[in-house]
Chains A and B, each alone.
Chain A
């Protein structure tokens, strides 16, 4: 088989694709007409190609789509739980930062440690004292003015200054002084 023959057979698949120009196709066709060896080889390959094209399309088994769709739904639900398991890592993944699994684990631990500390503080260390009545039931502006005036006046009359220990108790006053 000459070089031309080899090339014609090697380019067999190109005959079926518009990659070759019209001129190139004509040249190859002419060669096939003239060369019996190439023609036989070409015909056999063409037969193989035709056989391949005529193969029946495999039919998916019944229930395959439903099986895939159910699994997709399950994965979707699981991904929501995954987000709750470690929101920081999920956000990093969403930002396409691709964190290392160890980093993901540590951020998860840190996140839940901080969350626990916050909950403990909120539960056990928050102030339980009731705020003064004056703050919870704010009086109208008019009443407040009157009360302030009373206090001012009363404090002016009854304030005692102790010179011995000014830093500890500079001003001593009793609730009765204001009345």
Chain B
């Protein structure tokens, strides 16, 4: 298999189709990351699309010192964090009435079979608990447990030490455990 870096080099030289090959290879990972961070398929699709576009525009800044996928994850995380900030700001402006309507609409959407991504109630519960965690904890949980990245790779990606990753992951699991306990139906 041709390494990603060859396609990156071709993209820098002006070959857009080379970048499209990278999209083909990594879109599922970036979508998965966005889904876990944003919590719904529509936002995840938009964020994944925006992340790849952002990566294409700033491909010149890729230094070939890390793997392309690590760099791509970083772009994806930045885009998702921007999305979350925008979403939080939007939610703050909603009145309680419209928020209630939106929640009801959300419930309806989640029950539509064509849009249902999390099949079981348990998965929905976990996803809900993950989306309630602080952003940094969401990121480490997603990267470690769902994207199967190593501590070293996560540390490189987040520009911190492996010890910080371990500690953040530990806190995240503990928080998630207590959230799941409180969310579980009695």
Contacts and interface: CB of A to CB of B under 8 A. Distances in A.
Interface residues of A, number: 35
Interface in B19-41: 19-20, 23-24, 27-28, 31-32, 35-36, 41
A52 B145 CA distance: 6
Nearest to A53: B145
B177 interface: yes
B176 interface: yes
> Chain B binding site: helix, strand, loop or mixed by DSSP?
helix
> Chain B: interface residue count, which band?
35 or more
A96 B60 contact: yes
B166 A19 contact: yes
A119 interface: no
Contacts of B150: 17
Instruction: With a 10 A CB-CB cut-off, give which of A11, A17, A60 has the most chain B CB atoms.
Output: A60
A56 B127 CA distance: 11
A72 B20 contact: yes
A68 B48 contact: yes
A65 B23 contact: yes
24 contacts: A11-B166, A12-B174, A13-B169, A17-B162, A17-B166, A44-B177, A47-B177, A49-B145, A52-B173, A55-B123, A55-B145, A55-B146, A57-B146, A60-B27, A61-B41, A64-B27, A65-B23, A65-B27, A68-B27, A68-B48, A68-B49, A68-B52, A68-B53, A72-B16
Given A12-B170, A76-B16, 16 more contacts: A13-B173, A19-B151, A45-B177, A47-B177, A48-B176, A51-B180, A57-B32, A59-B117, A60-B28, A61-B45, A64-B27, A65-B24, A68-B20, A68-B27, A71-B49, A72-B23
